[in-house]
Amino acid sequence: MHIMEGYLPVKHAIAWGVVSAPFLAFGVHRLKRKMTADPQAKILLGASGGFCFVLSALKLPSVTGSCSHPTGIGLGTTMFGPWVMTVMGTIVLLFQALLLAHGGITTLGANAFSMAIVGAFVAHGVFRSSLTLRLPFSVAVFLAAALSDMATYITTSVQLALSFPDPVSGFAGALAKFMAVFAVTQIPLALTEGFLTVLVINLLRTNATDAMREAQVLPKGMGA
């Protein structure tokens, strides 16, 4: 994740920007509607954005010579859904590109697609499916955060393999190589992110129950 500035071929960078744009546009619409209907949600949105910024700004060395990090998308998605986090995640990536040199402007579309779009929708799907299966709330949050993290890196591997296919084995060979680079460190990171997300959302449920209910992000029967 955080494909660096100028790394992708121009056509690929533009294509990912075009693919991501409709998601972001509709996400802005949903975010505005949320803010109008529930002004109290601003505090929790800020907390979700800060959580996402801090976690995804961490750069942890990989044994393969690359770097890896959590994404932080799962927390906000469990409370606000995928469309809002599409916007929040993209804002996080933009600030990181401008202030921390993580990622880049030309690769913002690709990075947003993997983390803010795929990551958010996977987290949402896993979370809702887990609740439908009557899994404990904490288990649903854990699975949403951990699998969202893994989905982000799988998507990034696909993006890189499309841009740089192996001369001999093509896309499949390149995908295997990129997946191998990330898999060594990303599985324990995804598990760690899952546990941390559960810890944070349980703290919010215990100490900010009223705020979560007023913002309509805490399901009925899910108090402290």
For residue 218, what pLDDT band results from cuts at 50, 70 and 90? low
Q: Tally Cβ neighbours within 10 Å of residue 19.
A: 14
Residues 164 and 174: beta-carbon distance below 8 Å: yes
CA dist., res. 204 & res. 215, Å (int) = 12
Where do the domains of the chain lie, and which CATH numbers do they carry? 10-214 (1.10.1760.20)
- Which residues 6+ apart lie within 8 Å of 116 measured at CB? 20, 73, 85, 86, 87, 88, 89, 90, 92, 93
Query: What tens digit of pLDDT does each residue of 162-191 get?
Result: 999 999 999 999 999 888 887 777 888 899
What pLDDT digit, counting tens, does each position of 115-167 carry?
Answer: 999 999 999 999 999 999 999 999 999 999 999 999 999 999 999 999 999 99
pLDDT for residue 39: 80
Instruction: Tell me how crowded residue 10 is: count the other CB atoms within 10 A of its CB.
Output: 9
Q: What is the reported pLDDT for 59?
A: 73
CA distance to 56, 70, 161, per residue, from 149 (Å): 10, 6, 19
Stated length of the chain: 224
- pTM for the full model? 0.90
